[in-house]
Structure 1
Amino acid sequence: MKGIIMIIDGMGDRPIKDLGYKTPLEVANTPNMDKLAEIGINGIMDPISPGIRAGSDTSHISILGYDPYEVYTGRGPFEAAGIGLDVIAGDIAFRCNFSTQDENGIIVDRRAGRIRKGTEEIAGSINSLKLEGFEDIEIIFKESTGHRAVLVLRGAGLSDKVSDADPKHEGKPPKEVVPLDDSPEAAKTAAILNKFVKTSYDLLKDHPVNLKRINDGENPANVVLPRGVGAVPHIVPFGEKYGVKAACIAETGLIKGIGKITGMDLIDVEGATGGIDTNLENMTASIVEAAKNDDYEFILINIDGADEAGHDGQMEEKVKFIEKVDAVIEEVMKIDDLYFILTADHSTPISVMDHTGDPVPIIIKGPEVKVDNVNSFNERAAAYGGLCRIRGSDIMNILMDFMNKSEKFGA
């Protein structure tokens, strides 16, 4: 038997007045998700624990059966690994945003108009940059998907005990990076980052890609904001932990990085943007092909567009994207000899435009599953299911037990 966990990033939501106090998942036309609920066992799931606002990184780590409080050092290392950088011990890694800064130093768009093209050329202007006074530090910079990028600092005397430069909201200047302890390493790293942010604007404000974007009425990607600092963690490989060969199909560098650092094979999908414009047909084809591959007993899937719509407060777009994902579910349900788990990694409510600690719905479909009386897939209906309320850290144990891969505890 194979096992698939499909995570629709940020799919969960809260009741919305404009939707008659229903959630996007409740109003979306999802016949295949509803059918899956009808033939599976349902419940609600706290990615980490009740009320904890999980990040996509910490929730995936928890769902894969690792303790995020032990192995999570920050988002940067996962983002770096996910886009193909070979991070090594001692490296300090950051995830970054290409953002738009005005002439007064104010961030007017944290995501640079959801930039899709030209980031490779922009990144090339930054990679291997030498900062005055810190010539001993190697700067490794690479674009990820959309407005995302990765910065790795390599050299002596560095620390991950520093704050973010991202102000989190438009209308503010980049935050001054400060050391989070009294060490000289943290002070040095903070100084490097502050100089890096300023230098990135000086380098990029007149970059040809940005001049063209301005001419086309688009926000330029003229400054880089590092955040999510971390050191590379030690993680027991997924295959060693569970005794299965695993693959990861994801759209963003972050989730790919979690797959890579846990030892999964990464399957790239052409046209997978991580947004509502992602190529779901190609995602579906890759999922079906991987499921037919006898080398893989487990597949982790992440589809990200609902989260993007939630962060942007786009109610209608979130509903429409969920409906598009429903067609992917239809094809996965045709695969035989499979335990299929459908859930989200967190809620990203339209009203909040960020992650919340709300539980998310979950379904498990497969042989010998005790089917309950739930016949629709959404936040409220799932609460009546036979799984009741579980945590993300329970999922792999449940799946391995269904797949007869778990070991007996006790005599």
Structure 2
Amino acid sequence: MNMNYLVVLFDGMADYPLPELGNKTPLEAADAPNLKGMAKTSEVGMIKTVADGMKPGSDVANLSVLGYDPFQYYTGRSPLEAGSIGIDMKSTDISLRCNLVTLSDEPEYADKTILDYCADDISTAEAEQLVAYLGEKLNDDQFHFYSGVSYRHCLIWEHGTLDIGTLTPPHDITGKPIHDYVPAHPNAQKLYALMRKSYDLLKDHPVNQARVARGLRPANSIWLWGEGVRAELPDFKEKYGLDATMISAVDLLKGIGKFSGMEVLQLPNVTGYIDTDFDGKANAAIDAFKRGKNFVYIHVEAPDECGHRGEIQNKVRAIELIDEKIVGPVTAALRQMGSFRVLITPDHATPLSIRTHTNDPVPFMIYDSEKPRQGVEDYCERTAKMTGLYIDTGYTIMNHFLEK
């Protein structure tokens, strides 16, 4: 029997109950009739996508969901993004994620505060100008800047080292003074020098002057983190026998797709936020199935971004939009094509109350058009815990989903 497989990955969707939502989570509070309808005949439970001892990032968690053991295959976040934007890393290269951030204006760099980890979601066009300018001024025989999407960029450090201490993700310390988080390890002092120089170069750049004039935050510094070496992943088709397509707005997921041999679609109006082109993602997925692909992974960043920003109603709305504009239309199209199976899951939790990732188990749901089962009245954290089904080793979910 031919079977199509769909994964809809709600990045950062899992959360804690909130007083503002009547002690419900955003998922529980969302008006999501497609998810709710599927839950009644689906397998619902909890899954630990991020093993204890690993950082709860989308890199580790999405590798797990796709069936790759992060302890074996994870080499750092930035190398996956580097691969996505076409950087052919050498074995001696270190790649670092380079955020464009907004810092406060205290005279000493270490006294500044991260006001915004994404500089008001700076546009890719503006960011390209800033990163190109940094490259003109700072590229040398060791360091090279590459532009990515929006605030997410890449620094390649030739003959670098991973022995650099702890580099903290900027979304974990938004609103905090940076003096406790600037690179302190002796081997990281060249990186810290680049960060300080970037502020001097960017604070009065015409792009930032224009942003301030429009009431937007300036992208006045880089912030380096997510270091790693070149990534290597087994081919997804060889591993699972499925012809796969990756649909995402962010370089991290595109990189995972590229390194695992998937078709990676480049869609024009996807942003990684609640203003993304949900319809475009759905249409691309339907088209992929019509073209003969039998596995499509749709990653949607919006719930995670809303969690980092503490935007309660936007996080609820993001879930509703994914349900309405992606889950509904794509499953309806699959029903017309024959048998199909759907995995719905977050990669990790991004609780609004703390505005950063956790490694808490997250709720998953598997729907099979051919094998209805006794499900639950709704798909949310509460009902998923009530079923008692718990998958402790996250990377086994793909074999479970595919019934391998």
Shift of 1:385: 4.0
Moved more, 248-257 or 64-73: 64-73
Question: Which structure shows the bigger proportion of residues in helix conformation?
Answer: 2
Question: What does residue range 1-400 of structure 1 map to in structure 2 within 5 Å?
Answer: 1-49=3-51, 54-104=56-106, 105=109, 106-107=112-113, 108-116=115-123, 117-127=125-135, 129-130=137-138, 135-144=140-149, 146-154=150-158, 156=159, 158-162=160-164, 163-164=166-167, 168-173=173-178, 175-179=181-185, 187=187, 190-294=188-292, 296-327=293-324, 328-334=326-332, 335=334, 336-369=338-371, 371-385=373-387, 387-389=389-391, 391-400=393-402
Under a length normalisation based on structure 2, what TM-score does the superposition of the two structures give? 0.89
Q: Distance in 1 between matches of 2:402 and 2:353?
A: 37
Shift of 1:312: 0.9
SS for the counterpart of 1:349 is coil
SS for the counterpart of 1:260 is helix
**Alignment coverage as a number of residue pairs:** 387
SS for the counterpart of 1:333 is helix
Shift of 1:54: 2.3
CA shift in 2, pair 1:389/1:143, >3 Å: closer
Q: Distance in 2 between matches of 1:4 and 1:57?
A: 20
Q: Distance in 2 between matches of 1:51 and 1:204?
A: 37
SS for the counterpart of 2:349 is coil
SS for the counterpart of 2:40 is helix
Shift of 1:223: 0.7
Contact 1:288 1:332 survives alignment (8 Å): yes
Shift of 1:150: 1.4
Q: Distance in 2 between matches of 1:280 and 1:245?
A: 23
SS for the counterpart of 2:183 is coil
Q: Distance in 2 between matches of 1:151 and 1:367?
A: 45
Contact 1:372 1:385 survives alignment (8 Å): no
Q: C-alpha deviations, 1:182-211, integer Å up to 9, x for none?
A: xxxx72xx2321221122122212211001
Q: Distance in 1 between matches of 2:54 and 2:221?
A: 32
Letter in 1 for 2:18: I
Letter in 1 for 2:296: I
Letter in 2 for 1:234: E
CA shift in 2, pair 1:32/1:397, >3 Å: same
CA shift in 2, pair 1:80/1:314, >3 Å: same
SS for the counterpart of 1:114 is coil
Shift of 1:141: 2.1
Shift of 1:129: 4.3
Share of identical aligned residues, percent?
34
Contact 1:128 1:138 survives alignment (8 Å): no
SS for the counterpart of 1:32 is helix
Contact 1:12 1:348 survives alignment (8 Å): yes
Q: C-alpha deviations, 1:156-215, integer Å up to 9, x for none?
A: 4x2122232756233424643244xxxxxx72xx23212211221222122110011122
CA shift in 2, pair 1:297/1:48, >3 Å: same
Moved more, 201-210 or 51-60: 51-60
Moved more, 341-350 or 195-204: 195-204
Q: Distance in 1 between matches of 2:323 and 2:183?
A: 42
Moved more, 254-263 or 223-232: 254-263
CA shift in 2, pair 1:232/1:238, >3 Å: same
Letter in 2 for 1:40: S
Contact 1:47 1:63 survives alignment (8 Å): yes
Shift of 1:359: 2.0
Q: What's the RMSD between the two structures over aligned residues?
A: 2.2
Letter in 2 for 1:112: A
Shift of 1:91: 1.4
Shift of 1:25: 1.0
Under a length normalisation based on structure 1, what TM-score does the superposition of the two structures give? 0.88
Q: Distance in 1 between matches of 2:143 and 2:303?
A: 37
